A and B are shown apart, each in its own frame.
Chain A
């Protein structure tokens, strides 16, 4: 059903292709950038991706102003400040984030400080606190899952003050999301699977929650189908560039979808479990997704049923009675999880992920206070959350 009112916003230019990187220097020029700074992490550098990246600049005549390759797994204000200093010292005028969620959030943080000419991130945290036009930002994801290359948010820890700062602004949207499969070829199978299921959770939740709209639906459906068709091959043969490119596209589409319709209970539980038990986000998404759908079944059975089409294909969808499509969608999702578990050991329950049962009440409490619950189709109290967690435990 068409919502009486909705907004959809995605100005990010997508550059996708097997040699998409080669076009980056000229794109930067068009953005007015002359001296970009590259932000990445040790893992990306160690995998030789920075080298591939810099090669694309060799014949362009453009100089890379600075490369910072030591972003930690959880982005922090200290790192953001350190990079900001390097940016300023080297006279950089634009940013390139080459990495996963942490690198991208860090780059968004740096962009806030260099644009606002400030050294205090905290004053910009919250919704729509950014007023100035940001420096050009290009994001080159090296995982296919977070969707951060097309989202309006960033989360950065302030270690001194012991808090997590959340930033949300359309100004945080990168100018370009560049999808080049060479950047994801080295991603190990388990991380490939976990990030893929992160993308899957973005698409699925965006399709069933309260803020869904026809635009986000289109992206979500396309993303789910692309993930379903490629994830097993991506995990079993990481060197297949076609499959990697498809996964990168799917992740970006899922990112566009949830960025415009938000997520739900799966993410609430995932954020809580991640915070308390340090389960990687993609792993948590994989565990909670079918349970989250079952929890929401009473409120959005039809929407879950519609997801059988991208999840299982047209033949299966057409041959499944309408009354059974929602259950079958969840069944197919579970089968996909089992397949990924077989292939790379991606946990399918909390116990496998190393969570102990005594932590469940604490996770339940945190989950109901997570902001992503707001747009979930069904309200959740602490008991509900605990019930889901018990089901997902073993």
Chain B
């Protein structure tokens, strides 16, 4: 087997309009400055995508990028990133996935994949290390994500695919892309593929072996990283109970979304906790590969083995709809996974619809689904679909499956629901309770319980995303940062954003951040109260003490390119600011860095502290720290400092 030392800068560029392909080269300079994964992918997109491009048009571009650590055997190194312009938000969307496609892309010899144009016919693209084939996709069009992968990846051991389900085909704005049983979840990237008539991409990898440039150093870093992961408490809890381990912390902090973020806790929350799921559903590990954290699980629901719903699904398609029935939530999860839909946006949208019906903004008569052929007992033998009214109401699982199916099929009111909560609220009113930022529905943590998260949601590049700066980990899970204060939050958000961008560029799992930052000596052995006070009163010092050197050490040992912790953080900052800059060219400014009215004007029902997110107290300072002007625009001095060219060097 041939070897790739660390990384490949060969970028496979596919043009669907012309059914042609070529290989371009990413520069070493870009590799150093943008690392890989999300960073280098962002730079590739910056150099290719013109502002104002229609996300569902021929000119939109989908970039798929493995990271530097992808395929090296480092802990949690099976991940890859996708970057494109989102049909849901109209700005840049990024998503990370632990499916097998990334490793196959990299071991086929490519450091990235750029998909351009639009196929006239429904198609599937297949490639290996030396060629690309454009195959007919009409026979798999309409199949779900599981069936499609089975059908287009003939040799599942040597091939891996990226596919969309019916939701992506039907341009549901929050449709996703599947690889194995993992997803490029957010921002509607499935619809980008659907609009290109691209049902799937198959990578036949395993031609190259990825070897680190400095194997000895790599092994040393890997050993340390593995040890940290094996020791850190939150990480261990996720391995045991999955991401649903968060339920108990979040419910206790009164920031569990319930009834479209009207309540912040529920006495039945324990039913969807990781502990209860483990006890009742015979769970076993089913993770990204390779993985050392093991947060992904499968379990027995409704009499069959299936994916255990993640925390976000349990909250957005569960508690936020007033539903705590695990079996019902599992059914919703399966529908979304097979149809290829983001469970967060699907749940957030349904919650808005339920509230809009309550408030009389949407008529309950609009909910009519077409029952499937087998459902129609009155029309046995008929292939006609019959109409079936359903209802959507908080606290009731009835109707949710019909609604999800109708969204995926783009039928009836499902067509409108498939546009997301922002579009719905623009048409029907009710913007105050459309729980989204920049068009992206909010994740399952109510920021009124953790103000730093409120700031993070407001300024996150892709919208109300909890992964841009998962600061609630410090505020809630670890108890290291007082949650209900504006103090120190701008500094913390900026730092975590930059570090996260670095991690997503390296492309390893964000959950490694617990182990890699908390287990090093200084953090681990500094008494908690000192750490807490430092973070609150002297955040700059606290952050300077935080040791995250494992990340740059991985980069250096794999690539042979020297990188310090400061360089790594700077690269993260560069990536974050580039994404922001690209968004501002699409019209984003401080006017969009807002939170839904519910978060800044209404308190959580029953909250004795009457908390709302004091966004105004934090955002100015954040802009200043970032080097944005008061409109939230990165100024040229900042771009120069970060060596971001203010005009891209277009390459087509």
Who on chain A is nearest to B324 by CB? A335
| Contact A338 B271, beta carbon cutoff 8 Å | yes
**Residues 250-280 of chain B: 1 if any A CB is under 8 Å from the residue's CB, otherwise 0?**
0000000001001100011011000010001
| Contact B396 A319, beta carbon cutoff 8 Å | no
A358 within 8 A of B: no
Compute how far the CA of A232 lies from the CA of B269 in the bound complex, rounded to whole angstroms.
11
Who on chain B is nearest to A230 by CB? B267
- Identify 18 residue pairs between A and B in the complex whose beta-carbon atoms are under 8 Å apart, listed by A's number: A232-B270, A315-B259, A315-B263, A315-B605, A316-B259, A316-B394, A316-B395, A321-B358, A324-B393, A328-B393, A331-B395, A331-B396, A335-B324, A335-B325, A336-B268, A339-B267, A342-B270, A342-B276
| Chain B: interface residue total (CB-CB under 8 A) | 18
The interface residues of chain B lying within 8 Å CB-to-CB of A336 are: 268
**Residues 299-315 of chain A: 1 if any B CB is under 8 Å from the residue's CB, otherwise 0?**
00000000000001001
The interface residues of chain A lying within 8 Å CB-to-CB of B605 are: 315
Who on chain A is nearest to B394 by CB? A319
**Residues 315-343 of chain A: 1 if any B CB is under 8 Å from the residue's CB, otherwise 0?**
11001110010001001100110110011
Which residues from 232 to 280 on chain A have a C-beta closer than 8 Å to any C-beta of chain B? 232-233, 236
Other than the given A236-B270, A316-B259, A335-B324, 20 more pairs (CB < 8 A) read A229-B267, A232-B268, A312-B395, A315-B259, A315-B262, A315-B605, A316-B322, A316-B395, A319-B259, A319-B394, A320-B393, A321-B358, A324-B393, A331-B395, A332-B395, A335-B268, A338-B325, A339-B268, A339-B271, A339-B324
The interface residues of chain A lying within 8 Å CB-to-CB of B267 are: 229, 232-233, 339
Compute how far the CA of A316 lies from the CA of B262 in the bound complex, rounded to whole angstroms.
10
| Contact A328 B358, beta carbon cutoff 8 Å | no
The interface residues of chain B lying within 8 Å CB-to-CB of A320 are: 393, 395
Compute how far the CA of A339 lies from the CA of B605 in the bound complex, rounded to whole angstroms.
22
Compute how far the CA of A315 lies from the CA of B394 in the bound complex, rounded to whole angstroms.
11
List A residues at the B interface (Cβ < 8 Å): 229, 232-233, 236, 312, 315-316, 319-321, 324, 328, 331-332, 335-336, 338-339, 342-343
Compute how far the CA of A229 lies from the CA of B265 in the bound complex, rounded to whole angstroms.
13
Which residues from 219 to 268 on chain B have a C-beta closer than 8 Å to any C-beta of chain A? 259, 262-263, 267-268
Compute how far the CA of A338 lies from the CA of B280 in the bound complex, rounded to whole angstroms.
12
Who on chain A is nearest to B391 by CB? A324
List B residues at the A interface (Cβ < 8 Å): 259, 262-263, 267-268, 270-271, 276, 280, 322, 324-325, 358, 393-396, 605
The interface residues of chain B lying within 8 Å CB-to-CB of A332 are: 395
The interface residues of chain A lying within 8 Å CB-to-CB of B271 are: 338-339, 342
Compute how far the CA of A50 lies from the CA of B395 in the bound complex, rounded to whole angstroms.
44
The 10 residue pairs across chains A and B that have the minimum distance between CB atoms: A232-B267, A339-B268, A342-B271, A319-B358, A315-B605, A339-B271, A342-B276, A331-B396, A328-B395, A335-B324
The interface residues of chain A lying within 8 Å CB-to-CB of B394 are: 316, 319
By CB atoms of chain A within 10 A, which of B263, B322, B605 has the most? B322
Compute how far the CA of A321 lies from the CA of B395 in the bound complex, rounded to whole angstroms.
13
Compute how far the CA of A336 lies from the CA of B395 in the bound complex, rounded to whole angstroms.
12
The interface residues of chain B lying within 8 Å CB-to-CB of A229 are: 267
Compute how far the CA of A338 lies from the CA of B271 in the bound complex, rounded to whole angstroms.
9
Shortest CB distance B621–A (Å):
36
Compute how far the CA of A195 lies from the CA of B271 in the bound complex, rounded to whole angstroms.
21
The interface residues of chain A lying within 8 Å CB-to-CB of B396 are: 328, 331
The interface residues of chain A lying within 8 Å CB-to-CB of B280 are: 342
Shortest CB distance A291–B (Å):
18
Compute how far the CA of A319 lies from the CA of B270 in the bound complex, rounded to whole angstroms.
24
Shortest CB distance A314–B (Å):
10
Shortest CB distance A329–B (Å):
11
Compute how far the CA of A42 lies from the CA of B268 in the bound complex, rounded to whole angstroms.
35
The interface residues of chain A lying within 8 Å CB-to-CB of B276 are: 342
Who on chain B is nearest to A236 by CB? B270
The interface residues of chain B lying within 8 Å CB-to-CB of A331 are: 395-396
By CB atoms of chain B within 10 A, which of A233, A319, A328, A332 has the most? A319
The interface residues of chain B lying within 8 Å CB-to-CB of A338 are: 271, 324-325
Compute how far the CA of A339 lies from the CA of B395 in the bound complex, rounded to whole angstroms.
14
The interface residues of chain A lying within 8 Å CB-to-CB of B263 are: 315
Compute how far the CA of A312 lies from the CA of B263 in the bound complex, rounded to whole angstroms.
13
Who on chain A is nearest to B279 by CB? A342
Compute how far the CA of A315 lies from the CA of B280 in the bound complex, rounded to whole angstroms.
31
Shortest CB distance A346–B (Å):
14
Shortest CB distance A327–B (Å):
8
The interface residues of chain A lying within 8 Å CB-to-CB of B322 are: 316
Compute how far the CA of A6 lies from the CA of B267 in the bound complex, rounded to whole angstroms.
38
By CB atoms of chain B within 10 A, which of A233, A315, A342 has the most? A342
Shortest CB distance B279–A (Å):
8
Shortest CB distance B550–A (Å):
39
Compute how far the CA of A158 lies from the CA of B282 in the bound complex, rounded to whole angstroms.
49
Compute how far the CA of A236 lies from the CA of B325 in the bound complex, rounded to whole angstroms.
18
Shortest CB distance B359–A (Å):
9
Shortest CB distance A263–B (Å):
27
Compute how far the CA of A336 lies from the CA of B396 in the bound complex, rounded to whole angstroms.
13
Compute how far the CA of A336 lies from the CA of B280 in the bound complex, rounded to whole angstroms.
17
The interface residues of chain A lying within 8 Å CB-to-CB of B393 are: 320, 324, 328
Who on chain A is nearest to B398 by CB? A331
Who on chain A is nearest to B268 by CB? A339
Compute how far the CA of A321 lies from the CA of B267 in the bound complex, rounded to whole angstroms.
23
Shortest CB distance B320–A (Å):
14
Who on chain B is nearest to A336 by CB? B268
Shortest CB distance A140–B (Å):
28
The interface residues of chain B lying within 8 Å CB-to-CB of A232 are: 267-268, 270
Compute how far the CA of A381 lies from the CA of B263 in the bound complex, rounded to whole angstroms.
44
The interface residues of chain A lying within 8 Å CB-to-CB of B270 are: 232, 236, 339, 342-343
Compute how far the CA of A332 lies from the CA of B393 in the bound complex, rounded to whole angstroms.
13
Shortest CB distance B10–A (Å):
53
Shortest CB distance B283–A (Å):
15
Compute how far the CA of A328 lies from the CA of B397 in the bound complex, rounded to whole angstroms.
11
Who on chain B is nearest to A232 by CB? B267
By CB atoms of chain B within 10 A, which of A236, A321, A324, A335 has the most? A335
Compute how far the CA of A236 lies from the CA of B270 in the bound complex, rounded to whole angstroms.
10
Compute how far the CA of A312 lies from the CA of B396 in the bound complex, rounded to whole angstroms.
13
Shortest CB distance B252–A (Å):
13
Shortest CB distance B176–A (Å):
30
Who on chain A is nearest to B280 by CB? A342
Who on chain A is nearest to B267 by CB? A232
Compute how far the CA of A233 lies from the CA of B395 in the bound complex, rounded to whole angstroms.
21
The interface residues of chain B lying within 8 Å CB-to-CB of A328 are: 393, 395-396
The interface residues of chain B lying within 8 Å CB-to-CB of A342 are: 270-271, 276, 280
Shortest CB distance A349–B (Å):
15
Shortest CB distance B153–A (Å):
39
Shortest CB distance B393–A (Å):
7
Compute how far the CA of A321 lies from the CA of B271 in the bound complex, rounded to whole angstroms.
26
Compute how far the CA of A346 lies from the CA of B526 in the bound complex, rounded to whole angstroms.
46
The interface residues of chain B lying within 8 Å CB-to-CB of A315 are: 259, 262-263, 605
The interface residues of chain B lying within 8 Å CB-to-CB of A316 are: 259, 322, 394-395
Shortest CB distance A282–B (Å):
20
Compute how far the CA of A328 lies from the CA of B395 in the bound complex, rounded to whole angstroms.
8
Compute how far the CA of A319 lies from the CA of B267 in the bound complex, rounded to whole angstroms.
19
Shortest CB distance B587–A (Å):
36
Who on chain B is nearest to A312 by CB? B395
The interface residues of chain B lying within 8 Å CB-to-CB of A324 are: 393
Compute how far the CA of A236 lies from the CA of B394 in the bound complex, rounded to whole angstroms.
26
Shortest CB distance A259–B (Å):
29
Who on chain B is nearest to A228 by CB? B267
Who on chain A is nearest to B397 by CB? A331
By CB atoms of chain B within 10 A, which of A229, A315, A336 has the most? A315
The interface residues of chain A lying within 8 Å CB-to-CB of B268 are: 232, 335-336, 339
Compute how far the CA of A229 lies from the CA of B393 in the bound complex, rounded to whole angstroms.
22
Compute how far the CA of A321 lies from the CA of B363 in the bound complex, rounded to whole angstroms.
13
Who on chain A is nearest to B606 by CB? A315
Shortest CB distance A81–B (Å):
47
Compute how far the CA of A373 lies from the CA of B329 in the bound complex, rounded to whole angstroms.
38
Compute how far the CA of A171 lies from the CA of B358 in the bound complex, rounded to whole angstroms.
52
Who on chain B is nearest to A315 by CB? B605
